[in-house]
Amino acid sequence: MPRFDHAFDWVRRHVADGPLPTAVLGVATAEGVVALDAFGSEGGRAASVDDHYPLFSITKPIVGLAALRLVEQGRLTFETPLTSAVPEFGAERDDVVRLRHLVSHTSGISEPPMETPLGLRPSLLALGRDFEAGTVSRYSTIAFEGVAALIEHASGEPWERVVTAVAERADAPGLTFDADVSPHAPVDAAAQGVDYARFAALRHPGSGALARAADLLAIGSALLRNDGALVAPVTYDAMLRPLTAGLPKLDPYVESRGQDWGFTWNLRHSAPGLLARDTFGHGGWAGTEFWITPSRGVCFVLLTNVGGGFRRLGVDSDELHNAVAAAA
């Protein structure tokens, strides 16, 4: 792994010195994995590159790829209203929530706790409106219950099956919504106010997937090739069009973070800490990271298990971004 030594040293330091309890880092190009290693141990067991980790919100763009396949098949469009799949949605609203709003955090659906005791569909329906659809960007995970409903309605299949089929097309068979496969439950989850067992039982379409680093790297490699294996080239371009440009951006993804939302992807086009300007991807609540930089022909995955993420502990993952981009 000589080309990416600085990136792997970064992870090694943050496991040895904290706050990462364990971690797997992988780097890939369009040709496939070029570097992969695991660090740390829990309960006397060393982390392995073959371990599954909870992805949390990295789930979102994978679900988005499933929705985009249905767009390509003429079964959905960005403009499809949520009410086509959930007619009872929005009875008290005077606006229309569409697929493009759900995937870009502009739906205005009020957000429940991560492990909502109401359940996902009742939470989608019961919590009311935060703002008019399409007028503001505020991060939303419950909106992906709406995306899942649209996937099921359009495909006639369970949404989980449609999503795992995306991974299978990329030769990423380890993607699952079964939390029992992972030895790496997030540490400090309870201290961060999350009942992880109750959350995992939801199998949340916005944050409930688990995978190995190699699974995400396979998806990243397929997107770097842009050869139609996951989505057609025209769809690839469409999914990276900013859908939140010019909108007010509310905490935690405020304007100063230098990003917009595409079709589920975080587009870090103006992030002040990054060397590259075309990086897109997603992070997750436990510190997981999945990022693709087409101009450098590289993607990377960091899997770890810090409840609430490591930024709250003063760790800046832009350092890792830059170490990967510069080496590439």
Contact, 256 vs 277, CB < 8 A? no
**134: its two tokens:** 């399409």
Check pLDDT > 90 for residue 35. yes
* DSSP helix/strand/coil, 38: strand
* Distant-in-sequence, close-in-space partners of 279: CB < 8 Å, separation ≥ 6: 268, 271, 291, 292, 293, 321, 325
Q: Which helix (H) or strand (E) holds 25?
A: strand 22-29
At residue 319, does pLDDT exceed 90?
A: yes
Residue 109 neighbours by CB under 8 Å, 6+ apart: 97, 124, 127, 129, 130, 140, 142, 143, 146
Distance CA 97, CA 127 (A): 15
Q: What angle do CA 282, 150, 231 make, to 5 degrees?
A: 55
The pLDDT tens digits of the residues spanning 141-196 come to 999 999 999 999 999 999 999 999 999 999 999 999 999 999 999 999 999 999 99
What's the pLDDT tens digit per position in 237-294? Answer: 999 999 999 999 999 999 999 999 999 999 999 999 999 999 999 999 999 999 999 9
Residues near 218 by Cβ (< 8 Å), separated by ≥ 6?
28, 32, 167, 170, 171, 172
pLDDT of residue 3: 87
**The pLDDT of residue 2 is above 80:** no
Render pLDDT for 122-153 as a digit per residue (tens, 0 to 9).
999 998 899 999 999 999 999 999 999 999 99
**Residue 320, C-beta contacts closer than 8 angstroms, at least 6 positions apart:** 7, 10, 11, 289, 300, 302
Domains of the chain: 2-327 (3.40.710.10)
- State residue 31's pLDDT score: 96
Instruction: Please tell me whether the peptide bond between 205 and the residue prior to it is cis, using omega within 30 degrees of 0.
Output: no
> What's residue 318's pLDDT?
97
pLDDT surpasses 80 at 1: no
Q: Beta 45-46 vs 210-211: how paired, if at all? A: unpaired
β-partners of residue 41 are 46
Say what the pLDDT of residue 241 is. Answer: 98
**75-115, pLDDT tens digit by residue?**
999 999 999 999 999 988 999 999 999 999 999 999 999 99
Q: pLDDT value at position 27?
A: 98
């939140």: which residue's tokens? 244
Residue 302 · residue 25 · CB < 8 Å: yes
pLDDT in tens, 51-79: 999 999 999 999 999 999 999 999 999 99
Handedness of CA 41, 45, 46, 51 (dihedral sign): negative
